[in-house]
A and B are shown apart, each in its own frame.
Chain A
């Protein structure tokens, strides 16, 4: 019967992880605007990547 408690425990932990993910998603506004992200990918441009942070002369 110990396995029962073990399985319940596992199920609970997985569920808890899902809940935590959900809380994070709602709190950080992931679910606020389902429209914008599809346009964002068009903006990104990494032509200037790996440049120094500041060019001090």
Chain B
């Protein structure tokens, strides 16, 4: 090999992206008198750009950079225009940047953008790869910004917003503004009002009194009409719909105190602007807290959605991977997943090996090893190696997007118990308004001055505000379902959560639910014909793909022997020659067909094992029976613990199975369940559930196969597992993502606790009204005290519900 040839084979690293390349393939350039090598013209371009902007420090700082080509591509500014938020002189946009590899990339992007004329600010979030860029409209075009980013090798993409989270954030910010404003003006108002109260008792000059009254009027107005606007507009809307809601009570209470006070300024009476403002302030506080907890639940969902990358490295026909948006990738395509990268789509590994962190889906912290043939899921993290994945479905068909849909659905569904509060509000509100009007009339007739009568009526309106009643159920369910979802239990709706809490009987599918779903060897009979019986059997069965064969192979840990003349008889067994001896392993039928004489001892053992529900594999050596195996699909390790825990909760247990009676009886005895139904087809399982329901039981069914789907739908609650078939997951109301059986017990226990807390909440809310209303009607409670009490009541409900956060 000549020197040039050797040189051409020499490995180099690209000066920009550090990818390895051959000398002959490098693009060379002399920059500032030094020769630089690049893998492509794109990297050269980026290097020149960074150098010309004197941002070379980037190359010194990057330490956790993974070699890899930058994301080059065309940018079409029109795609982004819909996302620009324009407020007069400045514009803002959120972008998703591809190609962010390390913290220095964030630094580079921010610095490079900040140097452009017209940019107000550029911020990149390292964790989410999102950039927020603000610029002065007209001084720089969006296209320039996007092309600068693309020129640096960070391909910008429009952000797909989690609309729900966006709306939540907006709502919370709006509430915060309204509450903060109300708080500020109410505080100022209280100072003035304190002076007025003091003046009422000690005497006050009319000029001062009038001045203070006018100042308090000015202070109360923004509170009532800005901070209180949501209540007023809701009240008006409900008036138009002729179905008065809770906001109507708040608005009516606040406005009547406000307008009465305005009238008093002109007629020279006492003002109660403090009442109208404090009602709004306290109730806004409650709303603000509620919005916070809803936002928390919503952002968990957004965090899930953010796990899915927005693009994938699509492997083309030439074998090179190039980034492509997910929308363009369909089933059958091959994508590349780099170490440290998230899997963008569900698929099957075709090449490469890697440990994959699936904790976001299953809650299981230990990484799972993936090799060709394994299934990988979108959103999981490839840790150690590079994988080539054959995509099995588009971006909307991934397990992750299914989960997101499920959770969204769940949060939209109402529990039946929630209907109670809504129905109550329907007649409760008009009744309270009547009661308030009646109170006013009664006090007037009784000879009390208008002001006393009015204040008492306002008190009634405020105290009756059924906010706590409205919060009691949805908040508890929200907190409860979020808590279990952190453990990997997805509940499809509040109604389902409620049914779970009423469960009386738990029905378990056998295969795959309480058993492992694959057999293991329980009995081994060696008739002593060969002194290497186990080794020969394992060597032979290693070639069989039947689960029974796998089990026998697994039972021998030693070295395998070489095999000649292998023959696999599908569904029956396998034969071959080991060191000149002919070995045959398979079912009794196969051995009889091959002319092996089965003696009485052997037949008797086989019959006995089969009666116990075991599968038998017989082995012959040179035409004589050498031994036999009994196999059974045994209990999962956590099955006994789960069954014990469920029984401790007073639940009835039952096993349903499609297997024969022997197997079912063996398993039932082993785990101590007395009710067993065996030999059922899918519809038979559903029928068994119907029978249970007819006898008055509330049934929870756990299963994982397609054959369980009808039963899962028939049961009051269906529970499937994350490893279950998609059909099973769809037909179940609850999915346990990480296959941990003991979570079944957690689910039931937690739902029971959740509904106990809801009952406490409702009892509190009703009880509070029951006691406080008479006090208000009789005029014991001043409206401000009522507002305070009411807010306390809501806080009690909120903090009681938050207890559900702990499992």
Interface residues of A (CB under 8 A from B): 1, 4-5, 8, 11-12, 15, 18-19, 22-23, 26-27, 31-32, 36, 39, 42-43, 45, 47-48, 51-55, 57
List 8 A-B pairs, Cβ < 8 Å: A11-B188, A12-B188, A22-B180, A45-B57, A48-B55, A48-B111, A54-B53, A55-B52
What CA separation (Å) do A4 and B192 show in the bound complex? 11
Given A36-B125, A47-B57, the answer on whether A15 and B115 have CB atoms closer than 8 Å is: no
Contacts of A39 in B (CB 8 A): 126
Contacts of B111 in A (CB 8 A): 48
Contacts of B177 in A (CB 8 A): 23, 26-27
Size of the B side of the interface (Cβ < 8 Å), in residues, is: 28
Contacts of B61 in A (CB 8 A): 45
B180/A32 in contact, CB under 8 A: no
Chain B nearest CB from A28 CB (Å) reads 10
Given A26-B180, A48-B54, the answer on whether A43 and B106 have CB atoms closer than 8 Å is: yes
What CA separation (Å) do A40 and B115 show in the bound complex? 19
What CA separation (Å) do A15 and B192 show in the bound complex? 13
Closest-by-CB residue of A relative to B205 is A1
Kindly state whether residue B181 has any CB partner on chain A within 8 Å.
yes
Residue-wise, chain B 164-175 has the 8 Å CB interface mask toward A (1 for contact) of: 000001000100
Kindly state whether residue B208 has any CB partner on chain A within 8 Å.
yes
A11/B191 in contact, CB under 8 A: yes
What CA separation (Å) do A57 and B57 show in the bound complex? 20
A43/B107 in contact, CB under 8 A: yes
Contacts of A12 in B (CB 8 A): 188
What CA separation (Å) do A5 and B207 show in the bound complex? 12
Contacts of B54 in A (CB 8 A): 48, 51-52, 55
What CA separation (Å) do A11 and B169 show in the bound complex? 33
Given A22-B180, A32-B169, the answer on whether A43 and B188 have CB atoms closer than 8 Å is: no
Interface of B is mostly: helix
B172-198 contacts to A (CB < 8 Å) = 173, 176-177, 180-181, 184, 187-188, 191-192
Kindly state whether residue B775 has any CB partner on chain A within 8 Å.
no
B192/A8 in contact, CB under 8 A: yes
Contacts of A45 in B (CB 8 A): 57, 61, 107
Closest-by-CB residue of A relative to B174 is A26
Chain B nearest CB from A17 CB (Å) reads 11
B181/A19 in contact, CB under 8 A: yes
* A18, A19, A26, A42: the one within 8 Å of B103 (CB): A42
Contacts of B192 in A (CB 8 A): 8
* A1, A11, A43: the one within 8 Å of B208 (CB): A1
Chain A nearest CB from B796 CB (Å) reads 26
Residue-wise, chain B 33-57 has the 8 Å CB interface mask toward A (1 for contact) of: 0000000000000000000111101
Of all A-B residue pairs in the complex, the 8 with the closest CB atoms, nearest first, are A19-B184, A47-B57, A51-B54, A22-B180, A48-B57, A26-B177, A15-B188, A26-B176
Chain B nearest CB from A54 CB (Å) reads 8
Q: How many A-B residue pairs have CB under 8 A?
A: 55
Closest-by-CB residue of B relative to A51 is B54
Given A11-B191, A12-B188, A55-B52, the answer on whether A26 and B173 have CB atoms closer than 8 Å is: yes
What CA separation (Å) do A32 and B125 show in the bound complex? 14
What CA separation (Å) do A3 and B109 show in the bound complex? 56
A43/B103 in contact, CB under 8 A: yes
Contacts of A18 in B (CB 8 A): 184
Chain B nearest CB from A6 CB (Å) reads 13
Contacts of A55 in B (CB 8 A): 52-54
Interface residues of B (CB under 8 A from A): 52-55, 57, 61, 103, 106-107, 110-111, 115, 125-126, 169, 173, 176-177, 180-181, 184, 187-188, 191-192, 208, 211, 215
Contacts of B125 in A (CB 8 A): 36
What CA separation (Å) do A26 and B107 show in the bound complex? 26
What CA separation (Å) do A52 and B57 show in the bound complex? 15
A15/B107 in contact, CB under 8 A: no
Chain A nearest CB from B735 CB (Å) reads 30
What CA separation (Å) do A28 and B191 show in the bound complex? 30
* A1, A19, A53: the one within 8 Å of B180 (CB): A19
A31/B107 in contact, CB under 8 A: no
Chain B nearest CB from A48 CB (Å) reads 5
What CA separation (Å) do A45 and B115 show in the bound complex? 15
What CA separation (Å) do A30 and B215 show in the bound complex? 31
Chain B nearest CB from A42 CB (Å) reads 7
Chain B nearest CB from A49 CB (Å) reads 10
Contacts of B55 in A (CB 8 A): 48
Contacts of B180 in A (CB 8 A): 19, 22-23, 26
What CA separation (Å) do A32 and B299 show in the bound complex? 12
What CA separation (Å) do A32 and B292 show in the bound complex? 12
What CA separation (Å) do A53 and B114 show in the bound complex? 10
Closest-by-CB residue of A relative to B188 is A15
What CA separation (Å) do A1 and B338 show in the bound complex? 77
Instruction: Using A26-B173, A26-B177, A45-B61 as known contacts, list a sample of 19 further A-B pairs with CB atoms less than 8 Å apart, ordered by residue number in A.
Output: A5-B211, A8-B191, A15-B188, A18-B184, A22-B180, A23-B180, A26-B176, A31-B173, A32-B169, A39-B126, A43-B103, A43-B126, A47-B57, A48-B55, A48-B57, A48-B111, A51-B54, A54-B115, A55-B53
Given A8-B191, A48-B54, A48-B57, the answer on whether A15 and B176 have CB atoms closer than 8 Å is: no
What CA separation (Å) do A23 and B181 show in the bound complex? 8
Chain A nearest CB from B95 CB (Å) reads 16
Contacts of B53 in A (CB 8 A): 54-55
Contacts of B103 in A (CB 8 A): 42-43
What CA separation (Å) do A52 and B180 show in the bound complex? 44
Closest-by-CB residue of B relative to A19 is B184
Contacts of A5 in B (CB 8 A): 211
Chain A nearest CB from B359 CB (Å) reads 20
What CA separation (Å) do A48 and B110 show in the bound complex? 13
Chain B nearest CB from A26 CB (Å) reads 5
Contacts of A42 in B (CB 8 A): 103
What CA separation (Å) do A51 and B250 show in the bound complex? 61
A15/B187 in contact, CB under 8 A: yes
Contacts of A52 in B (CB 8 A): 54
What CA separation (Å) do A43 and B186 show in the bound complex? 42
Closest-by-CB residue of B relative to A31 is B176
Given A42-B103, A47-B57, A53-B115, the answer on whether A32 and B188 have CB atoms closer than 8 Å is: no
